[in-house]
Amino acid sequence: MSPHKAPDSSRRSDRSRRAICDAALSLVGEVGYARTTIEGIAARAGVGKQTIYRWWPSKAAVLMEAFTDEGARRSADVEGVGVAEDGELGIPDTGDLAADLKLVLRATVDGLNDPAAAAPTRALTAEGIMDPALGAQFVENLLEPQLQLYVTRLRAAQEAGEVREDIDPRVALELLVAPLTHRWLLRTLPLTHAYADAVVDHALRGLSVRP
């Protein structure tokens, strides 16, 4: 069915896989995404080009996996802690939804404003915009898990009577998150803590005057 026989993944060299991911990450950090090449990754990893082409369809896919890996490794480092200590591991629930959201969104703002950390994510996002398959992977592996945390927190708020029952948490979350993403990706206006607060306030209280 497939024009080429699939490689036997049980024989795959994990040493090469890791070296490739590491090389990809470091190169993106050093020269940026656009000037990172498959040849460069292979050279830095001490690997034949074919070993990359055998297992990944594109440079972006390599980076995708490198990112996912890195995330998994970081998660593993804190496994068993039992308590979320930052936005990545759950949104706090102090009973004050506005405060909790502001805390998390301010942290998000800080993360997005760090140029070194965010540049590769930005590149990967842009690539995912053009390449649907890659974009789907990006959303599934990196974005959606984050967004689900908002769903969870918003449902809790509904049960606590803080949020109206007729609210769709999935839509609500996008009201909160999309504006930050918008400013981050398109650079229309500065992305600040004040903006994060304003988004939360506007979203929670609504635009309309009270009926």
The residues of the shown chain that bind DNA, judged by CB under 7 A, are 5, 7-8, 10-13, 15-17, 19, 35, 37-40, 45-51, 53-55, 58-59
Q: To the nearest whole angstrom, how small is the minimum distance from the Cβ of residue 53 to DNA?
A: 5
- Cα–Cα distance, 131 to 172 (Å, whole number): 27
CB atoms within 10 A of CB 86: 13
* Beta carbon nearer to a copy of itself, 78 or 92: 92
* Beta carbon nearer to DNA, 29 or 90: 29
Query: Does residue 210 touch a copy of itself according to CB under 8 A?
Result: yes
* Beta carbon nearer to DNA, 49 or 164: 49
Number of residues that bind a copy of itself (CB under 8 A): 54
- Cα–Cα distance, 118 to 108 (Å, whole number): 11
Which residue among 31, 43, 72, 178 contacts a copy of itself (CB under 8 A)? Answer: 178
* Beta carbon nearer to DNA, 35 or 74: 35
Query: Does residue 186 touch a copy of itself according to CB under 8 A?
Result: yes
Q: Is 139 exposed, middle or buried (0-12, 13-18, 19+ CB in 10 A)?
A: middle
Q: How far apart are the first and last CA of the chain?
A: 63
> 19-22: which pairs have CB atoms within 8 A and are 24 or more residues apart?
19/45, 19/46, 19/47, 20/45, 20/47, 20/51, 20/52, 20/62, 20/66, 21/62, 21/65, 21/66, 21/69, 21/70, 22/66
Residues of span 62-91 touching a copy of itself by CB under 8 A:
none
Residue 152, classed as helix, strand or coil, is helix
Q: Report the largest interatomic distance among the alpha carbons of the chain, rounded to a whole angstrom.
A: 68
* Beta carbon nearer to DNA, 31 or 89: 31
Binding site for a copy of itself (CB under 8 A): 33-34, 97, 122-123, 125-130, 132, 135-136, 138-139, 143-144, 147, 154, 161-164, 167-168, 170-172, 174-175, 177-179, 181-183, 185-189, 195, 198-199, 202-210
